[in-house]
Amino acid sequence: MKKKEHILTALKGLIIGGTMLVPGVSGGSMAMILGIYNKLISSVSSFFKDKKNNIIFLAIFVAGALLGMLLFASPLEALINRFPRQMGFFFIGAVAGGIPIIYKESQVTRIRPKHILYIIAGIALVVLISFLPEDAFSGGSSTGVVKYLILMLSGIICAVALILPGISVSYMFLVMGIHDSLMHAISSLDILFLLPMAVGLGLGVILTTKLLEMAMKKFPHATYMIILGFVLGSIADAFPGVPMGWEWLICIVMLLAGFAAIFSISYFTELKPAKK
C-alpha cells in the first residue's frame, strides 16, 4: 500500500512540476485538484510532528516535481511559442476546470455577500500583482553577493505564489523579469542561479504554509473564497489575445479540452473535506 502511495505521490509531483512553469497555471491549484494540497501544507507546517513520514513524502513529491520541470519545461515552452493562442486557451480552460473543486473545498453551502467580498478581495490581489514593475527582481547588471540575494528574495516572494492556489508562480517569474533566465537555468542546470532561488523558495514555503494552515483552520470559508478569487483573477492573466478567423474554432476546442482534462482529474480524485 505504501509503495502505491509513493508512486501516486511522485506522479502527482510530476504533473504539478510540469505545469507550474506555464504562465497563468497555478501549481497550488493543481495540487488541490489532485488531492494532495492539504497533505503538502500539513507536511511542511507540522514537519516535526511526524518527521520520518513527512521527509519521505516531501522527498518523493519534490523529486517528482523536479523531474516534471526538467522533462516538460522545454516542450511546453516550444508549444507555447509555436501555438500561443491555442495553448493559452487550453490553460484558461485548465484553470477554470479547477474552480468547482476549490468551491467544494470551501464547504460553503450558500453564497452570502461576505463570500462575494472575499472573492473580490482575491481577484483584486491578483490584479495588483500585475502592476508590479517588470524586471524588479531580475538583478540587471548586479553581480556577486547582491545578485544571489536578489535571487533568494525572488524565491521567497514566489513561494507565496507556489503555495497559494490561483496565483501562478510562473507568472510571478514573468512579472519579476526572471522567467526566461530561470527556464534557461533549468535547461542548462545552472546551479549558481538555481541554488539561491531554491533556498529562497524553501524559506518562503515554510513561512507561507504556517500562516495558511492557521488560516484554513480558523477561517476556512474566508480562506477558500479568497483562494477562489485568486483563481478567477488568474484567468485574465492567462488570456493570450483575441483569436483571428479560423483560430476561434481551435481555441474553443482547446478551452473545452483544458477544462475537461482538469475537471475529470478532480472528479476522479478523492479529496478530503476541509477541516472546520
User: Is residue 276 situated within a structural domain?
Assistant: no
- Cα separation, 33 vs 40, whole angstroms: 13
Structural domain total, the chain = 1
- Cα separation, 172 vs 149, whole angstroms: 17
Alpha-carbon radius of gyration of the chain: 18
User: Is residue 258 situated within a structural domain?
Assistant: yes
Q: Give the tens place of pLDDT for each residue, 80-103.
A: 888 888 888 988 887 787 788 778
Q: Give the tens place of pLDDT for each residue, 169-189.
A: 766 776 677 777 777 787 777
Q: What are phi and psi of 131, to 5 degrees?
A: -90, 0
Residue-range definition of the domain harbouring residue 64: 2-268
- Cα separation, 148 vs 113, whole angstroms: 45
List the single range of 65-74, 115-124, 137-146 with lowest mean pLDDT.
Answer: 137-146
At 122, list the grid cell: 482575491
User: Is residue 157 situated within a structural domain?
Assistant: yes
User: Is residue 70 situated within a structural domain?
Assistant: yes
**Is residue 231 within 8 Å of residue 95, measured between CB atoms?**
yes
Query: What is the SS3 string spanning 228-246?
Result: HHHHHHHHHHHCCCCCCCC
Model confidence at 269, pLDDT cuts 50, 70, 90, reads low
User: Is residue 275 situated within a structural domain?
Assistant: no
- Cα separation, 267 vs 257, whole angstroms: 15
Q: Is the pTM of this model over 0.85?
A: no
User: Is residue 273 situated within a structural domain?
Assistant: no
**Is residue 129 within 8 Å of residue 169, measured between CB atoms?**
no
One-character DSSP codes across 114-158: HHHHHHHHHHHHHHHHTTSPTTTTS-TT--HHHHHHHHHHHHHHH
User: Is residue 274 situated within a structural domain?
Assistant: no
